[in-house]
Structure 1
Amino acid sequence: MASPSHCSCSSRLAHQRCLVFFLGFLTQMLVVTSDTNSQDAAALNALATLWKDTPSNWRSSDPCGDNWVGIECNNESRVTSISLSSLGLKGTLTGDIQYLTELQALDLSYNKGLTGGLPSSIGSLSKLVNLILVGCSFSGKIPYEIGSLSLLTFLSLNSNSFTGSIPSSIGNLSNLYWLDLADNKLSGTIPVSPGLDSLTHTKHFHFGMNQLSGIIPSKIFSSNMQLIHVLFDNNNLSGSIPPTLGLVKTLEVLRLDMNSLTGPVPSHLNNLTKVAELHLANNQLMGPLPNLTGMSALSFVDMSNNSFDESDVPSWFSTLPSLTSLCTSNLNHIRYLEYSRIGGQIPPAIFNYSPLQTVKLKGNRFNGSLDVSAIENSQLELIDLQDNNISSIVLGGGYSKKLILVGNPACDQHNDLAYCKIPQLSAPSYSTPQNCVPVACASDQNLSPNCTCAYPYTGTLYFRSPSYSDLQNTTYYHILERELKASFLNEVPVDSVSLNNSFVNSFDNLEMNLQVFPSGKTSFSEVDVSRLGFILSNQTFKPTSIFGPFYFIGQAYPAAHEIAMSKKSNHLPVIIGAAAGAAALALVLIGCAAFVITQRTKVKRTAERRQASGSWNFTKGSSSSSSIPQLKGARHFSFNDIKKCTNNFSEANEIGDGGYGKVYKGVLNNGQLVAVKRAQEGSTQGVLEFNTEVELLSRVHHKNLVSLVGFCFDQDEQILVYDYVPNGTLKESLSGKSGVRLDWKRRLRVVLGAARGLAYLHELASPPIVHRDIKPSNILLDENLNAKVSDFGLSKPLGDKKKGHVSTQVKGTMGYLDPEYYMTQQLTEKSDVYSFGVLLLELITAKKPIEHGRYVVREVRLTMDKSKDLYGLHELIDPALGLGNRLGGFEKFVELAMKCVEESGIDRPTMGEVVKEIENIMQLAGMNPNADSASNSMSYAGASRSPVRHPYSNESFDYSGTEPSSRLEPK
């Protein structure tokens, strides 16, 4: 048998890993007869020791002989494939993977509990063909050594938290077919020479939803490339569109939208005769409107929200239907002229182009008469011409479907007509119908379309570029259901599939939920689940072309594991008897390993804490040899003090929890009520954040900032003690969870207090302090509904006031995060102003900043009409405000919010100016801005209050860390 000497235990950094690997090897040695190659068995047993929630039969030491779930072996009992999708694994991928030298496929997709970085030793797997880690929580840089995997054809690392730049070594992967690094936090420029320009055989470049910057290099594209998908959407790319794109004649989908691209659209794009979907929206493209008549395969084109030259309708536009029909085009969605400053009269012939489903041309200068009298195209569902200069309309007996002319002169005297009103919300999204009489299921089961009760395999499908626009057309969903079921049936017995809740999200992806139901049983097995996940992660499922490229994020499937473990327990006595001898030795070895690991962990944590608290002024206490920080205004508590005041952290005293830890109500010896926030091991808030909050709150004091009573830095604990604030958070009040009802005047008073607290930090603290995490869950309400700004773990002093900014890693909460700070990493007080502006919009809408794929800033900006009462925001306003009541100063409030969320920080007001404007608004509402509190107007939604869950927890996000969060929708 092979020796474990492959692992060099002389290296101190590798010591822990060697111990675990050695344990796996010794466990393998205990088995008298083993089919699995000893080196492979040792490596897999080491992984099994480190991972939690592994499959039920991963209890033996012979992976090949005992048919471990997700493990495939060749005739020589070497491990060739690991496929463990959606099984709820938790842990890290360590360097032990390098010993599986015959491994050809590694798929760990949809296991959110898998964290940490990819080991550089993964580059040793010279036979690896598929590396698929979709939808996990891996972080850190993609190792440069990945470029050593010369046989790799499929590389999917999308939907993780990888940071840093794209390694140029990827250019060495000459056999690569599929490259997907989308939906991460990758930054830096696109690598070429060496880099992506070398991947002439690759067909998929998927890099959307990252933080890539710089230009798109011209050198990246050439005529000998075989690309069919180029997706660079939702990044920070700048410069012009490279004309070399026109050389890639194989291209079918091109997404460059949601960037900062400039210059004209190159005429060379007309050479792309196979492109079906073209997305260039939301950039800064200039010059004349491009003539796209050469792109004869177009079925979807979006070039809206750019800066094209003002012009009349181009001559080629009027011939588009006949020309493209002649070229057998499938164009079904015209949107590329929205907000494009084009004028003239719309040619009536365009509406009769038979594949056309939607025409969206709002926000232009179209004028004259609109003639829809002769429309015969039965597929045309929507004509949206809002905010143009159309003076009249010819209806005749033709078009009878959805037509919107709001904001045109034709509607000035005819507001009662159907086409002069904003239409009602569309019908509910599609949901697979049930083909029988529904039956009642157990509470933890779901009803399939065939009316059987079972535990479905679930997840979310994301289509990156669908070529149809009618989301209410059930035909497309029926096609997708049939294709999915057929694909699954090749591997797994499936009863039916169900689709529901389809919508276009903030990244212009079509999103929908998927449920897959088992056939002839209530639950899929672990093997079934692994196969289902692999079909979707490995792109085995190929949808019809109308849906375009997709990715899938599966959910963990605990039912299979629970049932398998239940069956396993029936054989427990036999297993115990057979393994008794081995267990005794294993326990000794595990005990030794645990001792070493624990000691190393303690040393590491102690060093980290000492380093983080190095800036504090330490003095030795007379009664203890340990050192504690002596900070003005903050009291140091011993751990025993904390246990006493919280009744030993009793459940009865628990009032909240979060990523940081739990929060307890406590009573000090003097009778003062306090909130005690205790960090748990593995907390998302680190020692540096703890240090920051203690230091800042010890030197800043204001009635609108939460008060720090003290802290505990004793017995390896991180505990913060605050004044108890009884009415929860602004977020809880807006959602109705706290029972506190806030009318318009109370909301004004709350935001005034929060604004004053922020103005103090920006303008009176020395040096100025930027909070970096302003949101309703960090605004507390005291007994009189006075606002208290809280949670200073991410706060940052600006240092030299003359400099006006600091360069720092981007931190904050998505939806509230300043896009300018996000792109430049230059932090100023105006970053807080942007977050405060989002908070103001949330105050009037009671909506989360990003909800159902919609960004509240964009929704308000597109909806507001200053010529209307309440600026036309009736449908967005929180119903709890009561539209029948007078909302004094509402319009000024909206204007202030929109000033705060201006794209450029220089265009936003200071917090001092915000305070003054809110005071003016309060006077318009008949209020005294200098009144002490809102106590006289405080009330509750019902006779009895629900318990307030306290918010002293960290929900913020660190872009350098691993905690997943919702992404910021680009503006």
Structure 2
Amino acid sequence: MGTKIRIFLLIIFMQISISYQKTDLVILMALQTAWPNTTLNWKGSDPCDGTWLGIGCTNSRVTSLILPSMGLTGGIPGDIGEFTELQILDLSYNKRLTGTLTPAIGNLNKLTNLVIVDCGFTGRIPSTIGNLERLLYMSLNSNGFTGPIPATFGNLKNLYWLDLSGNKLTGSLPVSDGLTPGLDLLTNIKHFHFGNNQLSGDIPPTLFNLNMTRILHLLFDHNQFSGSIPSTLGFMQSLEIIRLDGNHLSGQVPSNINNLTSLNEMFLSNNILTGPIPNLTGMNLLSYLDLSNNSFDQSYIPSWFSTLESLTTLKMHYTNLVGELPAALFSFPQLQNVDLSNNRINGSLDISSNPSKQLELVDLRTNLIEDFVQRDRYTIDLILVGNTICTELGVTDYRFCSLVPMNTSTLYSTKYNNCVPSSCDLGLLPSQNCHCAYPFIGLILFKAPSFSTLENTTIYDSLHDNLTAYYQKVKLPVDSVLLNNPNRNLVDYLVIKLYIFPSGEPSFNRTGVIGVSFALSSQGFSSPKGFNTYTFIPENYLNFLSDIPGPGGTKSHSSSTGIIIGSAIGGCVLVGLLILAGIYALRQKGRAERATQQKQPFASWDLEGGSGGVPELKGARSFTFEELSKYTSNFSEINNIGRGGYGMVYKGTLPNGQLIAIKRAQQGSTQGGLEFKTEIELLSRVHHKNVVGLIGFCFDRSEQMLVYEFIVNGTLKDSLSGRSGIRLDWIRRLKIAVGAARGLQYLHDLADPPIIHRDIKTNNILLDQRLVAKVADFGLSKPMTDANRSHITTQVKGTMGYMDPEYYMTQQLTEKSDVYSFGVVMLELITARNPIENGRYIVREVKQAMNKDMELYGLHEILDPIIGLSTQLKGLERFVDLSLRCVEETGKLRPAMSEVVKELESIMALVGLNPGTGSSSSTSAATNESTGKDFSHPYSNDSLFAYSGGFLPPKLHPK
């Protein structure tokens, strides 16, 4: 009898287990349907048999779903909330996962780790996440989330890591009020990472209380917080890092700030703090201090300057310091960088008494220093420009009286392991062990490193060694790692390019990429001392090996159990397999179509016109090769008007007499294929008098040609350089600026979809017979769809000198990237200088030369003499102010193109021009004063300056 009962109970247990397993299977099938065009290799009826990619199980239940860097596309369906046993969810680095985050995530009651980093999610963060009381670790950073931080997060009593940085969150920090929860109830929290959002309001004093003394990292930088720094911050004596920089904080720094004796880094710069400079006596572990750009009271050099012996970096420019620097400051053994520029430091500078061997830069420009004492010839970069010592006679060493280019990156790269790298096939790179392979590549951004040096290779070697040891320890298929080009970005993060190479094969399989990604998304890798917290932003990995993992996991069933299960769900399995086979066939077909599309951008276009396969092009027509050959006299040399990186440019004449310019791609070259198609699709929908008109295209006989209206007066660059023979006075340059700005505003605000040009420069602004400016060359342009309305994360492309440094560093392209480029064009208009000339950057040159107290801002020597020959330069100061607003280092400080147009129109009115027409009775249309000889044509894109990926040399970075 007992045996029968045991068998009966076993059958009941197996039925329950089968029911749970079937539920997990159904949920996974729902996810696979929601994520089309991805290969997850989910086959069979048992997701816990060890072959399902990214699935982890315990007792035949799905407990982890880990799929970072898998190219997932779509959204997260509400079905995911039915994973009743799920403990870990990591969907990071899937940039095409978009839409809002489903509130059903709040049903995952056993979830401990929620990791969704660097995806494309938008909208509000669901308040239901506050139901996940077991949650320990949550990273939702580097998405596009908006709205406030949910107050329900205060219910997450066990949470120790909360990273919401790099989103667009707004509103104030929620704290409890007796009725609703708040962040002040997170008694186990160690990490508040809220940087790079749009959070505002006061930092609540109750956020810091005696129940929250475990906080280690407080990263609130680059938001819009206002009010004062609460004195309750002084209770957080475990704090190691504070970043409050880049806000609108005011008032005095709390006097008890020096209670934070565990603090390693403190960033309070770029606020409007007032009162005395804070007393930091006793903060002996402080290594990185930045109080710059605040409104402190005038203060004598504080005594604690001589006591903080752990300092590597001291930054206090624009802080109203007065007095003589103590020589002891420069002898701190770890000191690397001192920036006390733009203060009122005076007396004698003495760095002769045993200076730190790590000291690299002392920037004391624009102070009142009268003398410099040196025992031996110094090797540091010392800047005393603008001090008394550099303006008086008798100075024998002028080296410190000239500016040193600021070093924002280094050419460091990990050394090879006693081998010489051989040449690899296209796309493959040599590993540290000189094996050719496809590495997993990305940027690792350290948010608060304790050092400022970029030259000490020992520091990066330690990071390399720690990474290597970690991957060996966790037994991932990693051959080696390489580090390349450490540099500082605009928000003072340390950015390093990381290459992770596969072991034993030329490529990672999908399981390997999941492993190396998860180690970084979940902070499984602990960075070595000094580097501190980080974010990893990978590139898409496109070179997977076939991912067919062998059997494994915890699958263990007896034959009798297998018979019971088989008989119970055999029919379901058969149906499931048929469904999976159909899905797989459809996917394979889709993959084949996408591969064809990549190799042949026009594969889906019926250019003969029979099936209507060509998209509606609104006026642009398809030409045959024979037609264009006829219009150009068989592409004769006499009609060749230029050459660019794309190919040759020919002048032609249509049967109706209209002049055309034909861009003809180089034969046998695939370069430009996608740009070619992009330009057709975008320009066919763009119709504005300040944007060049596309007449048609040719895709015939393997030829790629674009047909434009012919613009007789060439590029703005030609006229500014004198090649065209056109003389541009101040009035004409204003008209050109307004016309180009209107064209760019049209692309941003009125085109459907809106377009980011991505390569605005004087070579891409054309002048017609009346010198009307027209924006041209859309080969690098990107449309802004609803899914990426805020920004586009894309490979960096553009032209050196015009490129937005924020886009270059973050790979996030916005309309403000075009605004930056247009600001450079404006400076080029008034100076006629190249953006980069003899290693000098036009933005920096104008900023350093200008003096707002002088007429024309004192820019007489840098202005192009031609603009002053025929008229006074009325409005030039406003023009310069506008251009410098356009080239602000961060996009949020730059105006929109609509604002640029309004200001330029206002300047036009000031000088007597009609902003509506751009005409003036005193200024007629310019004529071509050349001898009639053809010059290099506008459509000849100058490829010598084209940039696509990699790092710019340090001297090209605008400071």
Normalising by structure 1, report the TM-score. Answer: 0.68
Q: Deviations over 1:229-288 (max 9, x none)?
A: 000101111111111111111110000001111111111211111110000011111111
SS in 1 for 2:369: strand
Does 2:383 align with 1:396?
no
Relative to structure 1, the CA distance from residue 904 to residue 499 in structure 2 (aligned partners, 3 Å threshold; closer, same or farther) is closer
Which residue of structure 2 aligns with residue 431 of structure 1? 413
AA matched with 1:305: N
Paired letter, 1:313: I
CA separation of 1:582 and 1:118: change in aligned 2, threshold 3 A: closer
Contact 2:803 2:817 in 1 (8 A): no
**1:201 correspondence with 2:182:** no
For 2:613 and 2:71, locate their aligned partners in 1 and report how far apart those are by CA, in whole Å. Answer: 39
| Residue 662 (structure 1) aligns with | none
Q: Which moved more, 1:583-592 or 1:155-164?
A: 583-592
Q: Please say if 1:360 is aligned against 2:339.
A: yes
For the 8 Å contact 2:416–2:433, the answer to whether it is kept is yes
Alignment counterpart, residue 766 of structure 2, candidates 754, 761, 781: 781
Residue in structure 2 matching 1:211, options 195, 198, 218 = 198
CA distance in 1, matches of 2:627, 2:232: 67
Is 2:265 the counterpart of 1:297?
A: no
- Separation in 2 of the partners of 1:45 and 1:130? 22
* 8 Å Cα contact 2:726-2:927 kept in structure 1: no
Query: Cα deviation per residue 1:39-67 (whole Å; 9 max; x = unaligned)?
Result: 11111112112314534522445322252
The CA distance in 1 between the partners of 2:347 and 2:617, in whole Å, is 76
In structure 1, the residue matched to 2:622 is 647
**SS class of match (2:366):** coil
What does residue 208 of structure 2 align with?
Answer: 221
Q: In the superposition, relative to structure 1, how do residues 99 and 762 fare at CA in structure 2: closer, same or farther (>3 Å)?
A: closer
| Structure 1 residue 744: Cα displacement | 11
Matches within 5 A, 1:267-278: 267-278=255-266
- Distance apart, 1:82 and its partner CA: 1.0
CA distance in 2, matches of 1:274, 1:405: 34
Superposed, 1:672-821 pairs within 5 Å as 704=690, 726=710, 751-757=733-739, 777=760, 780-784=765-769, 786-788=772-774
From the superposition, tell whether residues 149 and 396 of structure 1 become closer, same or farther in structure 2 (CA, over 3 Å): same
Q: Tell me, yes or no, if the aligned pair for 2:856 and 2:876 is still in contact at 8 Å.
A: no
Where does residue 512 of structure 2 map in the other structure?
Answer: 528
Give the structure 2 partner of residue 230 of structure 1: 218
The amino acid across from 2:904 in the alignment is M
**Shift in Å, 1:747:** 10
Q: State the alpha-carbon separation in 1 of the partners of residues 300 and 724 from structure 2.
A: 50
Secondary structure of 2:308's partner? helix
In 2, distance between residues paired with 1:729 and 1:224? 72
SS, match of residue 442 in structure 1: coil
Give the gaps of 5 or more residues in structure 2.
1-16, 552-571, 587-611, 629-650, 662-673, 697-705, 794-801, 807-815, 886-892, 914-919, 944-956
Q: Describe the superposition over 1:758-778 as per-residue Cα deviations: whole angstroms up to 9, x where unpaired.
A: 899999xxxx99x99898749
Counterpart position of 2:77 = 94
Partner of 1:158: 141
Moved more, 250-259 or 211-220: 211-220
* Alignment partners' CA distance in 1, 2:462 and 2:817: 47
Q: Could you tell me how far 1:461 is from its partner in structure 2?
A: 0.4
Deviations 1:477-520 (A, max 9, x none): 00000001111112313222111121110011000100011222
Deviation at 1:838, TM superposition (A): 6.0
Q: Matches of 2:792 and 2:38 in 1, distance apart? A: 33
1:417 corresponds to 2:404: no
**1:346-376: CA deviations, max 9, x gaps?**
1222212222122111111111222233334
Q: Equivalent residue for 1:556? A: 540
Q: Distance in 1 between matches of 2:211 and 2:442?
A: 38
Instruction: Give the distance between the partners of 2:457 and 2:268, measured in 1 at CA.
Output: 28
Does the Cα contact within 8 Å between 1:725 and 1:782 map onto a contact in 2? no
Confirm whether residue 331 of structure 1 aligns to residue 316 of structure 2.
Answer: no
CA displacement, residues 435-459 of structure 1 (integer Å, 9 cap, x when unaligned):
3222111111001122111111111
Kept after mapping to 1: 8 A contact 2:410/2:487: no
Query: In 1, are the aligned partners of 2:442 and 2:536 still within 8 Å (CA)?
Result: yes
Partners of 2:125 and 2:146 within 8 A in 1: yes
Change (3 A) 1:240 1:753: same
Question: Is the 8 Å Cα contact of residues 726 and 782 (structure 1) preserved in structure 2?
Answer: no
CA contact (8 A) 1:773 1:813 kept: no
Aligned residues: 770
The aligned counterpart of 1:840 is: 826
Q: Match for residue 161 of structure 2?
A: 178
Among 85, 94, 99, which residue is 2:68 paired with? 85
Aligned-residue CA RMSD in angstroms?
5.6
TM-score (norm 2): 0.68
Query: Which has the higher mean CA deviation after the structures are superposed, 105-114 or 432-441?
Result: 432-441
Return closer, same or farther for 1:835/1:913 CA change in 2, 3 Å cut-off.
farther
Residue from 249, 252, 268 that aligns with 1:264 = 252
Aligned twin of 1:8:
none
Supply the distance in 1 between the matched residues of 2:459 and 2:327 (Cα, whole angstroms): 29
Question: After superposition, where does 1:379-390 map in structure 2 within 5 Å?
Answer: 379-390=358-369
Kindly indicate whether the alpha-carbon contact (under 8 Å) linking 1:234 and 1:970 is maintained by their aligned counterparts in 2. Answer: no
**What letter corresponds to residue 451 of structure 1 in structure 2?**
C
Amino acid aligned to 1:520: G
Q: Which residue, out of 450, 458, 477, partners 1:467?
A: 450
- The residue type paired with residue 903 of structure 2 is T
**Shift, 1:197, TM fit:** 1.0
Q: Secondary structure at the match of 1:535?
A: helix
CA deviation profile, 1:85-106 (whole Å, cap 9, x unmatched): 1122222111121122211111
Counterpart amino acid of residue 914 in structure 1: I
Residue equivalent to 2:923: 930
The answer to whether the aligner puts 1:103 opposite 2:86 as a matched pair is yes
Equivalent position amino acid for 1:368 in 2 = G
Report % sequence identity: 41
Aligned with 2:427: secondary structure?
Answer: coil
Q: Which residue of 2 aligns with 1:4?
A: none
* Equivalent position of 1:456 in the other structure: 439
**Alpha-carbon distance change, 929 to 351 in structure 1, aligned in 2, over 3 angstroms:** farther
Pair 199,159 (structure 1): closer, same or farther in 2 beyond 3 Å: same
The residue correspondences of 1:775-924 to structure 2 (distance < 5 A) are 777=760, 780-784=765-769, 786-788=772-774, 837=823, 839-841=825-827, 861=847, 896-899=879-882, 901=884, 910-915=903-908
Which is worse superposed, 411-420 or 504-513?
411-420
CA shift for structure 1 position 671: 8.0
Given that 2:441 and 2:499 are in contact with CA atoms closer than 8 Å, whether structure 1 keeps it comes out as yes
Q: Offset at 1:34?
A: 8.5
Give the CA deviation at 1:910: 3.4
| Counterpart pick for 1:311 among 271, 295, 299 | 299
Aligned-pair CA distance for 1:222: 1.1
Change (3 A) 1:842 1:292: farther
**Partner secondary structure for residue 68 of structure 1:** coil
1:147 is matched with which residue: 105, 130, 135?
130
